[in-house]
Amino acid sequence: MNFIKTSALTLSLVISLGVSSMTAFAEETAVSSSASTSETITHIEKALVEISKSDFNAAQVHLKAARTSAEKITGHEEIVKKANALVIQGQIKAKKGDIKSSSDELNKALELYKSL
């Protein structure tokens, strides 16, 4: 009888530790994803400022950083995919020196990222 009690207690401890570690992991992922979203938004906003100053090299650096941080965003894959495509289009137009079109594309991407 003592063996059954010990086994039941051990099993309940293992289950509770497993559940708590899974909860902590899920929480960590959510925090990481929101931090990546904020970082992406910040880089796009900085790129828009640089584009408005016609400093396209600095804008390219921020856009590359935005694309890198966007890869870490989890969930909402369809929205992230559309936003990334807009960032790429904005990056291409910035390389060509088209301030208005580049700004329009990046503002659309910014709205999508802010909706997350």
Domains, the chain, in order of start with CATH, read 2-115 (1.20.120.660)
Residue labelled with tokens 């894959």: 77
Report the length, in residues, of the chain: 116
Tens digits of per-residue pLDDT, 36-73? 889 999 999 999 999 999 888 999 999 999 999 988 88
Residue 107: count other Cβ atoms within 10 Å of its Cβ: 14
Per-residue tokens: 64: 């590359």
pTM over 0.85: no
Distances (CA, A) of 81 to 67, 70, 78, 108, 109: 11, 9, 5, 13, 10
Mean pLDDT is lowest, of 14-18, 25-29, 44-48, 96-100, for 25-29
